[in-house]
Amino acid sequence: MILYPAIDLRHGKVVQLVGGDPKNVAVERPSPEVQAKAWEEAGATWVHVVDLDAAFGEKNQWALLPRVLGRRLRVQFGGGIRSMTQIQQLLELGVQRVVVGTQGVRNPEWLRELCVVFPGRIVFAVDARGRDVVVKGWTERTGIDLITLARGLDGAGLAAFLYTNVEKEGRLQGMDRAVISELRNNCPKTPILVSGGVTSLEDLQWLEEHGVAGAVLGMSIYTGALDLKTAVQHFPQPAYRSAAPVPLDPDEAEGEEDGDVAGDDGTGYIKVLRAREETEGEEE
């Protein structure tokens, strides 16, 4: 069970929102770097960083990323990611995994391409009210069924599904166990991470017993309902490993005979897909 302490960024600060509502800020702390240091000292080897401003369609907060990177913490980062170029830039900065929500819901084929270009680096955030998938900072319902959507992408090569129950998020009242079980049973090929309502050691134990690979911890560790250090003692974390270098210059891939084979580092694809993305952008 990998524990992902959350660092949710809003207007330059670290926050915890109740139910994802930007007007309902339950916790606010001034410094992303102090927060990252605290989670590292508690024994985490990963952090889950969300750019809430970008998720709400506002200016991104990437300028804060260097304040979290550079520690013995692997960074999973998401919020407002809409293009392959952005993902490349984040991986160049040292982010280990990029979380994509809204854009992946709108365009699952693009998500499949991402998995080929960036194997093991893409997490698909499926945020839902019950099973109804929501997007754009949880402000829009889609009418898309979470399990149907996830089933269609099982085996695509995602690093994980990150399932967030937005009704449970920030409320310290436990998780939606029925939906988690359904997701696990319907998507046997993809690791599952869970967020929203993970409150106790018993919740973590249940997740582990039900084949869930990791949990994002937010309100519980910010309020002290759950002590991260104690949780790490119960669920020993994998040793820190730095992010593998990503060869991101598409020109370097030219002339590589195997550069266009799925499952390699994907550089051969980048140029083609970037061109396609640009064309699609022009068509919009």
Active site residues: 8, 127
Please state the closest distance from residue 51 (CB atom) to ligand AMZ, in A. Answer: 8
- Closest separation between CB of residue 153 and ligand AMZ, Å? 15
List of residues contacting ligand AMZ (CB under 6 A): 17, 20, 50, 52, 55, 78-81, 99-103, 125, 127, 135, 137-138, 164
Q: Which positions ≥6 away from 222 have C-beta within 8 Å?
A: 16, 26, 27, 29
Distance of closest approach, residue 170 Cβ to ligand AMZ, in angstroms: 8
How far apart CA 182 and CA 210 sit, in angstroms, is 10
Beta carbon nearer to ligand AMZ, 58 or 256: 58
Terminal CA-to-CA distance of the chain, rounded, Å?
Answer: 42
Nearest-angstrom CA–CA distance, 122 and 110: 12
CA 90/CA 18 separation, integer angstroms: 28
- Residue number, 194 or 253, with CB nearest to ligand AMZ: 194
Q: Considering only CA atoms, which of 140, 85, 99, 121 is closest in space to residue 7?
A: 99
Nearer Cβ to ligand AMZ (94/170): 170
- Smallest gap, in angstroms, from Cβ of residue 103 to ligand AMZ? 6
Instruction: Identify which of residues 81 and 179 has a Cβ nearer to ligand AMZ in the complex.
Output: 81
Distance CA 154, CA 215 (A): 19
